[in-house]
Structure 1
Amino acid sequence: MDGIPPGHGHRRVGSRHRGGERRTPRDAARRGRKTRRSPGTDRHRFLLLRSAPLTTLVMFDDERADGWAPFALTRPCGELVFGRWTLRERLERVARTRVAGHVTRPWLRRYAEPGAPRCLDADGLSAPCTAWNARAVPSLDAAWDDAPANLWVAGRLAGVRLGADAGPPRAKWFAAPRPRPGLPDRDVPGVWLGQPWDLVSAGPDRRAADLAAAPGPAPELPDGCWRLGNAPIRFGEGAQVEPGVLFDAREGPIELGPGVEVRAGTRLGGPLYAGAGSRLLGGHISSFSGGPRCRVRGEIDRVTMLGYSNKAHHGFLGHAYLGRWVNLGAATVNSDLKHTYGSIRVGPPGRRRDTGLVKFGCLIGDHVKTGLGTRLETGTVVGAGSSLFGAEPPPRWVEPFSWGDGRDPEPHRRGDFLSTAARVVERRGLEGTPEFRDWLGDMWDEARRP
């Protein structure tokens, strides 16, 4: 696939006041034969678009989303997976129209990822438009129309829908949105994501609900495979499952996307979604969401992986969220539970925050690499573009674009990082376009800015 054309830059002035709170309330009979597609799977995947939407739909990151390390450095928060879909794809299903773009951090002006919309100039929007906060997660059954309104989720302002005669929102508004005077209030059922670790703690339940909502009956399992439980199991077109795979659907549905391969000796536990072209290579993989084209093996529990990431070797990975283009070396493992069974704190030294979670593993940014036998401690956050190796565990907070072993890695040189990233992308048959390199270079510059 070709990269998305580079988006336009935007400026945003960060306002520090608080606002936007409302004060009143998815049949291989033999090895190698492709599975049959589940009836209804296409309907599940297909977005029913309105032929002529009356308003432009944009997503924005507010001031809190700007602090969502390690992912805010490299992507709009709407391009993070929560449940079965990205936050943007979920909004598109609810609104039945495409998101035109993201209003987000200035250094992402050249964000260029296949399938994702560009980033927009916050001061260049025009009405009619609907602006929606990426941290607000609407229910799939939420009603949606084009009538102007202030849009509220769980008592907090989630967005605004403006008519043709209204002035569009400007940069300051996106940082700390406030209701538009004179517009009626409209409640939209849904929930909020407060912190990036909410993607880990709330992800499995959301994934189960999303997969359960898929229409159509489950297919017959391939010969030599077994199932436990009654939740739906679905296969996308061209999915291949070898004999000797156990589908455990007692805790939730299982969906294999188009072209997914599952090797013999794999136990799949729902709720689980494997995106197009992913390869599940063995081990016990449960409560997982990943893809497209991820490679997964080992003991995997409550893990989300964005596209093109690899954990292709044995070892434990639990309660974790991985960005795109991550590669975990052989025998890389993480911890997700403290010896004291106490609440896990996350953040840089001197500014750690209590997650309130007893089980939480790690957040790993885009383009991170780990070497042989890397051990990640409980609550580790690894910044984008880092390359970690060595016998000693890395620190629990790794700054973006770090390189080396032990507790004090060095900066990852800009040219070395860009060359490696381009080689990795090209190995998967994609093109490391100039736009792609420019986007990554902007990220490096921002992270290493004095």
Structure 2
Amino acid sequence: MTTLVMFDDERAGGWAPFALTRPCGELVFGRWTLRERLERVARTRVAGHVTRPWLHRYAEPGAPRCLDAGGLSTPCTVWNARAVPSLEAAWNDAPANLWVADRLAGVRPGAGAEPPQADWFAAPRPRPGLPDHEVPGAWLRDPWDLVAAGPDRLAADLTAVPGAEASAPPDGCWRLGDAPIHLGEGARVEPGVLFDAREGPIELGPGVQVRSGTRLGGPLYAGAGSQLLGGHISRFSGGPGSRVRGEVDHVTTLGYSNKAHDGFLGHAYLGCWVNLGAGTVTSDLKHTYGSIRVGPPGARRDTGLLKFGCLLGDHVKTGVGTRLETGAVVGAGSSLFGAEPPPRWVEPFSWGGGRNTEPHRRGDFLSTAARVVERRGLEGTPEFRNWLGDVWDEACRS
């Protein structure tokens, strides 16, 4: 069996705000990360990621390490993180150029053949002499595609997952619709919860807690140990350990992010360890009902989306009453507070209110990040601090 490796091409390297802190294969799309999806299709573990050089000490529990692009072992298969294979795709170890929707998604050179060299990964090219193999699937072009296509992908994933027989709503709860409901081991649902399964399945992972007064709208997936604390939560994928309350729609959160208070969050994607202060609200629709533009001043790009709220990088924090404008992108490690809304583009490791921010000091950021992790019973290890320290150095070295 060949070694399976994921890589970020040049376009994935521009996936702000997430590409600064993690390989793009470790982003959730639907029920799984892009890496976990590939593993399900290939029926083998991904050995590592070829990605940006400052992530060489990336150290997230359960995720593979980052690899030296010039030192891959053979035989190997390399696969673009932006290519999303269908769960039904056939997979084998035969040498081939691998295509998804008429674009090169990866290469399997075969035993004895040289793996791709370091300069190949930014702009992949077919390997001469190899046969072509088409893998059914789709492409993610930009990070907001994770938002726009996430709920449909989640509904398909939850429908495709084989597993235990569907659960009945717990005593004192209600359901609408016929899509399956699955409750993981140890999930606790208080009386007075409505399961609205008219638009898709609902799955609560092991140890999930749902408080009375919560309306769950499918498709919805809450990862292990998450807490759903009240309000209307629909078309949501999050966890593990996420805490969610309020009006939440079309949202993905990575692990251990908190929106534990009231306030609207819509058409958004949150990284790991994000904390939204009480009353933080987002806008996901322009007054003009026009398509939403995203990016730094002078370089905004049209997403083509009528609804799009925000992208928040890892370890972002907002103060009480923060208002995020339509199409906001907030860089990793930023801490935003004050009465004035922040700009629609916030550089990584920004500290302060409104448009007057300063860099979040390295030592203060790392100490806070370790403290936050330890509050959840995890360890702020030296490896954890080294990884985030390298990220800070890359973003703030100027």
TM-score > 0.5, shorter chain as reference? yes
Report whether the alignment pairs 1:129 with 2:76.
yes
Match of residue 98, structure 1, among 24, 42, 45: 45
How far did 1:127 drift? 1.4
Q: What's the Cα RMSD here? A: 0.5
Q: Counterpart in 1 of 2:11?
A: 64
Superposition map of 1:347-366 within 5 A: 347-366=295-314
Residue 86 of structure 1: aligned partner: 33
Structure whose residues are more often strand by fraction: 2
Quote how far apart the aligned CAs of 1:398 are: 0.1
Partner of 2:334: 386
Letter in 1 for 2:100: V
Write the letter of the residue equivalent to 1:242.
E
Paired letter, 2:229: L
Counterpart of 1:265 in structure 2: which amino acid?
G
Q: Deviations over 1:384-414 (max 9, x none)?
A: 0000000000000000000000112111111
What is the CA distance between 1:214 and its match in structure 2?
A: 2.0
For the pair 1:411 / 2:359, whether they are aligned, the reply is yes
Supply the AA of the counterpart residue of 1:212: T
Q: TM-score, length-normalised on structure 1?
A: 0.88
- Quote the Cα distance in structure 2 between the aligned partners of 1:98 and 1:252: 29
AA aligned opposite 2:272: R
Name the structure 2 match of 1:368: 316
Q: Unaligned regions of 5+ residues in structure 2, if any? A: none
Counterpart amino acid of 2:68? Answer: D
In 1, distance between residues paired with 2:138 and 2:349?
33
SS in 1 for 2:25: helix
Q: Distance in 2 between matches of 1:358 and 1:409?
A: 30
Deviations along 1:140-185, one digit per CA (max 9) or x if unpaired, are 0000000000000000000001211100111111111000000000
Indicate which of 118, 134, 140 corresponds to 1:171: 118
1:246 equivalent in alignment to 2:246: no
1:4-403 aligned within 5 A: 54-215=1-162, 216-403=164-351
- 2:46 corresponds to which letter in structure 1? V
Cα separation, 1, equivalents of 2:43 and 2:109: 17
The letter of the residue matching 1:303 is: V
Which AA in structure 2 matches 1:197?
W
- Once the 2 structures are TM-superposed, how far is the Cα of residue 425 of structure 1 from its aligned partner? 0.5
Deviation, structure 1 residue 343: 0.5
Counterpart residue identity of residue 132, structure 2: D
Q: Which digits, 9 at most, give the CA deviation of each residue in 1:277-328, with x for residues without a partner?
A: 0000000000000000000000000000000000000010000000000000
* DSSP-derived class of the 2:368 partner: helix
SS of residue matched to 1:271: strand
What is the CA distance between 1:441 and its match in structure 2?
A: 0.4
Distance 1:161 1:406 in 2: 49
Distance, in Å, in 2 between the alignment partners of 1:415 and 1:310 is: 23
Range 161-170 or range 138-147, more displaced: 161-170
- Matched residues in 1 for 2:198 and 2:169: separation? 16
Q: Partners in 2 of 1:148 and 1:213 — Cα distance?
A: 29
1:204 partner letter: P
Alignment-derived partner of residue 42 in structure 1 = none
TM-score if structure 2 supplies the norm length? 0.99
The Cα shift of 1:104 comes to 0.1
For residue 25 of structure 2, what is the amino acid of its counterpart?
A: G
Q: Post-superposition shift, 1:449? A: 2.2
State how far apart, in whole Å, the 2-side matches of 1:185 and 1:162 are: 11
Secondary structure, aligned partner of 1:288: strand
2: CA distance, partners of 1:278 / 1:388: 25
User: What fraction of aligned residue pairs are identical, expressed as a percent?
Assistant: 86
Secondary structure of 2:268's match? strand
Q: Deviations over 1:75-123 (max 9, x none)?
A: 0000000000000000000000000000000000000000000000000
Query: How far did residue 218 of structure 1 move?
Result: 1.1
Residue 45 (structure 1) aligns with: none
The one-letter code of the counterpart of 1:380 is A
Distance 2:111 2:357 in 1: 53
SS in 1 for 2:236: strand
CA displacement 1:208-228 (0-9 Å, x = unmatched): 000011234311221100000
Query: With CA pairs under 8 Å and 6+ residues apart, which has the higher RCO, 1 or 2?
Result: 1
Conserved? CA contact 2:169–2:195, under 8 Å: no
- Give SS of 1:409's match: strand
State how far apart, in whole Å, the 2-side matches of 1:414 and 1:330 are. 26
d(CA) in 2 for partners of 1:283, 1:294: 15
Q: Distance in 2 between matches of 1:109 and 1:129?
A: 20
Q: Number of aligned pairs?
A: 397
Secondary structure of 1:100's aligned partner: strand
